[in-house]
Structure 1
Amino acid sequence: MEIGSFDFLKQQDLPAGALYMVATPIGNLGDITLRALHVLNAVDGIACEDTRHSAALLQQFGIHKKCLALHEHNEVGGAQTVIQSLNKGQRWAYISDAGTPGVSDPGARLVHEVQKAGFRVIPVPGASAVSCAISASGSVMLNSEGRFQFLGFWPNKTKERDAWLQDISTSKKTSIFFESPHHIRETLLILANALEADRQVFICRELTKKFEQLAALQAGEIATWLENAESLKGEFVILVAARQASPDEPLEQASLMLWANALSPHLGSKEIAAVLSQVLGLSKKEAYQIALDAKEAKD
């Protein structure tokens, strides 16, 4: 069925003088959205991270538009060219090489400049390696109750890498990062040595592509997995499960306040302190201070 036969697309509002941030496939052309095709066909021009790369995508879908190269090295200058076009009432789109613009790709500076100039920016959602990996990760996300931190691309500098490892190993959120095939072996071995042997790790290779591979491991199994891996080619997305708190680890202040706030409407400060002390093992002095803080916050 041709795109033009979807009448609901014709009802989409496409304001003039606006920039459309359009997500494109991360590997499988079938993941382009109907709305993305509709917008790319409707705009006056398309700014691309790499015009040569995007040309193949646009040609595949018969889209012939004026294209402008806009990448990390000319993003601010390129943004001014786009703004001039928006000032004439034109519609422009921006696409990165793959996925959602601005997610470890250029786009943030462009959006900032366009918004600063007073023009509207409209997101057109679609493929994202981060959300794609999360959706298939299962238990790696359980300890953090769905919360995660996206770190971008694994750093090459030792000092920054050490800071990352500290962050990942202690975080109570699932950590997600990208890595290239050139460094993936070294990176995974470093990760394995830095984590507890039973920490869960989810390795995604070539997401959405023909040779897609997903592997759920414990950190202690990484070395063996690398020895037996059929291929380490392609782009990688790595998820590391949140650190699981030990039973005797003290609760954070925010968690204690949740307890106190829940009890506050029903009990006085002394009674709240008694409950916190008995149930959570806090000292009477600490428990009473938490109870007072909760009462003051209510007032």
Structure 2
Amino acid sequence: MSNLYIIGTPIGNLGDLSFRAVEILKTVDAVACEDTRRTLKLLSHFGIRVKLISCRAHNEGFAAEKVIAILNRGGAVAYASDAGTPALSDPGAVLVRFAVEAGHEAIPIPGPSAFASLVSVAGRGDKSVLFEGFLSPKAGRRRSRLRELLARESAFVLYESPFRILKLLEDLAEFDNERYVCVGREMTKVHEEYLRGSAGEIRANLAKKTEQLGEFSVFVSGKKGN
């Protein structure tokens, strides 16, 4: 039995890669990754040279065959998505399932997560928080799912692109503008920013800018969040 290491990688600041992750990446026989260019930049920053295997969402099953072949030979492989922890709105789940079914072990190497990072600074004490990730880019489906999430009355976290963040906040304000919202933009990066308040207030703040830059993470408190 060989090990497949699931690496949590920085969501912006390269200094957030853990010491343990660095040591694992130095010793494995190959690194499967969502984007070889981005992972190469990360590895080069730490002086690591290792074989890379492209493992994106649309070829995850095919890439898994290459990974399992290495594991079957007794080698060790690490998997890293572009940013954050794999399988949280990123590839990785299929690879883990295939590796485990082939008799190998999947070992988590904890690291950054936009979800956990945003919750930690949201400043609310909700007992449960649902991770939803990206909603559908189609307006009808997005609005329908948003209504369902709000009806649960518990806190939840969404990811959104700069192209749809204003529409998302507009929908939130329309459906329930009483909920507390915390939006994180460019977390851990140079232009890191957090906006707190109602969805309507945050949307008005963002709308003052000529364009929206960076990826957004959105925390929405529960109906009775404190």
Q: Residue 118 in 1 paired to residue 103 in 2? A: yes
SS of equivalent to 2:218 = strand
Give the corresponding residue for 1:163: 144
How far did residue 226 of structure 1 move?
Answer: 2.5
Query: Using the alignment, how far apart are the partners of 1:172 and 1:191 within structure 2?
Result: 13
Query: Using the alignment, how far apart are the partners of 1:101 and 1:189 within structure 2?
Result: 30
Give the corresponding residue for 2:26: 41
Give the corresponding residue for 1:214: 194
Query: Using the alignment, how far apart are the partners of 2:200 and 2:43 within structure 1?
Result: 44
Is the 2:115–2:217 contact (alpha carbons within 8 Å) kept by the matching residues of 1? yes
Q: In the TM superposition, what whole-angstrom CA distance separates every residue of 1:179-235 from its partner, at most 9, and x where no partner exists?
A: 01111122211221111x321111110000010000111234234223335862000
Q: Which AA in structure 1 matches 2:84?
A: G
Q: Which AA in structure 2 matches 1:80?
A: E
SS of equivalent to 2:190 = coil
Give the corresponding residue for 2:2: 17
Where in structure 2 are the equivalents of 1:279-290 lying within 5 Å? none
Is the 1:192–1:222 contact (alpha carbons within 8 Å) kept by the matching residues of 2? no
Aligned length in residues = 225
Q: 1:81 to 1:223 in 2, by over 3 A?
A: closer
Query: Using the alignment, how far apart are the partners of 2:80 and 2:170 within structure 1?
Result: 34
Where in structure 2 are the equivalents of 1:220-259 lying within 5 Å? 220-229=200-209, 232-244=212-224
1:184 corresponds to which of 152, 156, 165: 165
Which runs of 5 or more structure 1 residues have no equivalent in the other structure?
A: 1-15, 246-299
SS of equivalent to 1:74 = helix
Q: Which AA in structure 1 matches 2:14?
A: L
Identical counterparts, % of pairs: 40
Indicate the structure with greater strand content: 2
Query: Using the alignment, how far apart are the partners of 1:228 and 1:64 within structure 2?
Result: 45
2:71 corresponds to which of 86, 99, 119: 86
Q: In the TM superposition, what whole-angstrom CA distance separates every residue of 1:112-135 from its partner, at most 9, and x where no partner exists?
A: 000011101101000000000000
Where in structure 2 are the equivalents of 1:52-63 lying within 5 Å? 52-63=37-48
1:201 corresponds to which of 181, 195, 201: 181
Q: Which AA in structure 2 matches 1:228?
A: K
CA RMSD in angstroms, aligned pairs only: 1.6
Give the corresponding residue for 2:94: 109
State TM-score, norm by structure 2: 0.94
Is the 1:40–1:46 contact (alpha carbons within 8 Å) kept by the matching residues of 2? yes
Q: Residue 71 in 1 paired to residue 56 in 2? A: yes
State TM-score, norm by structure 1: 0.72
Q: In the TM superposition, what whole-angstrom CA distance separates every residue of 1:17-47 from its partner, at most 9, and x where no partner exists?
A: 2100111100000101000000000101111
Higher relative contact order (CA 8 A, sep 6+): 2
Query: Using the alignment, how far apart are the partners of 1:104 and 1:236 within structure 2?
Result: 13
How far did residue 84 of structure 1 move?
Answer: 0.8
SS of equivalent to 2:112 = coil
Where in structure 2 are the equivalents of 1:284-299 lying within 5 Å? none
